Amino acid sequence: MTRSAKLKQSLLIGALTSSFGVFVSKLIGLLYYSPLSSFAGEANMSFYSIAYTYYDLLLKISSAGLPFAIASMVARYYAREDYKTVLLVKKLGTSLVMTLSFVVALVFVIFISPIAKQSMGGAAALPSDVENLKIVFYILVIAVIFVPFLSAMRGYYQGLKRLDLYASSQVLEQFVRVFCILFFGFLLVKVFSMDGIYAIYAAMAAAAIGAIVAIIFFIKETRDDDKHVRELAEKCENESALKKDILIEMLSLGIPYIVISFLGSASALVNTTFFMSTAASAGIDGEFAKLSLGILQANCNKLSSIPQVLTLGFSSGLVPYLTESFEKQDIRKLSKQISQIIDTVMFILVPVIFIFIFFAKDIYFIMYGNRNLDLGADLFRVSNLVAFTDTFAPILSSIMITLRMRKETIGILGLSFLAKFLSFFPLVTLFGPYGMIYSTIICSIVAIVLYLIVMVKHFDLNLKTNLRRFGKIAISSLIMIVPGAAVRILANYLGFEYSSRIIDIGVMGVCGIVMILVYYLVTVYFKLPQVIFEIPRPSIKNLLRKFRS
């Protein structure tokens, strides 16, 4: 594909390209989770889930929204053919991210001890658990220094619409990370017979190694692109914008994103920080609470993150295209793009959620075996409702931010966080670990409803059309489940009931093929692919050609 062709990708294809890269990286990520759980032990997986909640939050603060700001500004100045400013944005943006990541890492190190103690249950925490978590935190600090810089590089090429590089770097980063987790986890625990916690240490260190390899990949693969932009800049007669103005613009985009990132991560942060202590106050057994937290935030979240690739994919893919439409004040095109994003996400997300809910026990068994199967399957089944709301809400949030509605976004996220915080403690007291899930659903629903209300007001969205298509998608998904459930019932009748992973994979494979075919036929009957993907003749061949293009 030529450079000009890459820069002319449609919003949908660009977003799906990003989603595909995230999907492949998540798929690779699934490969390590069962072995890691085996190396470390399920009890130690709670350390991993707690650490990654803070890791995710620290990355967002370290980046300060600058990758998003870089992508948005590069897209805008490139569209204006102001190539000198494009280079200036890259230089200042990456410098700011590197500086901020060091500062955030240093501050976190200072507060590691009290955070570790509170996360493990406060006064009820075992000293050994606190020490283990502190070591995990110290290791993740290394990744906090390198990963934001990688994000800044991705933001720059995202702004140039090089979403193929964006996706490729994600796959490479995840591949290296998973290889390191499996290799060092096996070496430390199985070969040298060290405690399972060392597998968690290796898993955290692998994040930094993956980022370093991806950075080297970017440096190598983008030489021609950098040379091309520099040549355009040399031919550009206009002077670049002033550094002061670029810094102000970048920070005006980035600083609100810190608040937005914190509020967006607040749900997981509340779960991680307060669940153990709230469970203890409610009289829930400490070991059961620790096990449930590990299963929910590690095992279940890993599986539920598969549909959530749409969040990262569309969030990254929509920025340059919506920015371009917004710059031209083409409200009709913006409305159409937003509607297309909503329809596409629902078309892909809803059937996946239906499958995950109805076949939760099969999926959990295939990934994690019979260990705590009933508890894990129940938690996973309910958590898929969160997978739906937590996929849709951040996409709407990204649209709002891209369209310069940051104050509204902060206000909405603030209200949704308040709903989470107020509902968390009574729901955990009443329903135990399920209360975490219910309070998160409430939080996301509040955000989704308010986002849609604001968008209808500002961009003249016709949500009635989207709701009708959503209804058809839900009906198609429900019909799709029927033959799959029949295959599962037949397998149970013949005695193939959670006794062998290989057999269950075969059963689910047959179910999957049947369900996908049924979903395709029913949605074609409802003319959904024809309208959403603009395919006049919706054969499987044409659908594949549309995605492949």
* Per-residue pLDDT tens digits for 232-288: 888 887 777 778 888 888 887 777 767 776 776 778 888 888 898 899 889 888 888
Tokens (6 digits) for 51 = 């650490």
Question: Average pLDDT of the chain?
Answer: 83
Greatest mean pLDDT range, 219-223, 318-322, 408-412, 467-471: 467-471
Tens-place pLDDT, residues 369-428: 888 888 999 999 999 988 889 888 888 888 887 787 888 988 998 999 999 999 999 999
Average confidence (pLDDT) over 173-200: 92
Tens-place pLDDT, residues 507-516: 888 888 889 8
User: pLDDT value at position 15?
Assistant: 54
3-state SS of 400-441 is: HHHCCCHHHHHHHHHHHHHHHHHHHHHHHHHHCHHHHHHHHH
Please report which confidence band the pLDDT of residue 5 belongs to, taking 50, 70 and 90 as the band edges.
very low
For residue 226, is pLDDT > 50?
yes
- Alpha carbon of 37 to those of 49, 183, 294, 302, 417: distances in Å? 12, 14, 10, 12, 31
Contact call for residues 250 and 96 (beta carbons, < 8 A): yes
User: pLDDT value at position 1?
Assistant: 44
For residue 329, is pLDDT > 60?
yes
For residue 548, is pLDDT > 70?
no
User: pLDDT value at position 9?
Assistant: 44
- Alpha carbon of 413 to those of 291, 297, 383, 394, 544: distances in Å? 30, 22, 21, 10, 37
For residue 32, is pLDDT > 80?
no
User: pLDDT value at position 317?
Assistant: 61
Residues 387, 539: Cα–Cα separation, whole Å: 30
User: pLDDT value at position 450?
Assistant: 95
User: pLDDT value at position 421?
Assistant: 92
Residues 26, 35: Cα–Cα separation, whole Å: 16
User: pLDDT value at position 23?
Assistant: 60
Give the other-Cβ count within 10 Å of 531's Cβ: 15
Residues 373, 375: Cα–Cα separation, whole Å: 6
- Alpha carbon of 168 to those of 149, 157, 175: distances in Å? 17, 12, 11
Please report which confidence band the pLDDT of residue 3 belongs to, taking 50, 70 and 90 as the band edges.
very low
**Between residues 49 and 323, which one has the greater pLDDT?**
49
Closest CA to 382 of 464, 437, 305: 437
Give the other-Cβ count within 10 Å of 128's Cβ: 10
Helix axes 360-368, 501-525, angle to 10 degrees: 140
For residue 6, is pLDDT > 50?
no
- Residue % of the chain over a pLDDT of 90: 31
Tens-place pLDDT, residues 40-88: 887 788 888 888 888 888 887 777 678 878 888 898 888 888 888 899 9
Instruction: Collapse the DSSP code of 265 into the 3-class scheme (helix H, G, I; strand E, B; otherwise coil) and give the result.
Output: helix
Tens-place pLDDT, residues 478-496: 999 998 888 878 877 777 7
For residue 300, is pLDDT > 70?
yes
Q: List, as one string, the DSSP characters of 493-530.
A: HTT-SSS-HHHHHHHHHHHHHHHHHHHHHHHHHTTHHH
Tens-place pLDDT, residues 76-133: 888 888 888 899 999 999 999 999 899 999 999 999 999 999 888 777 778 898 999 9
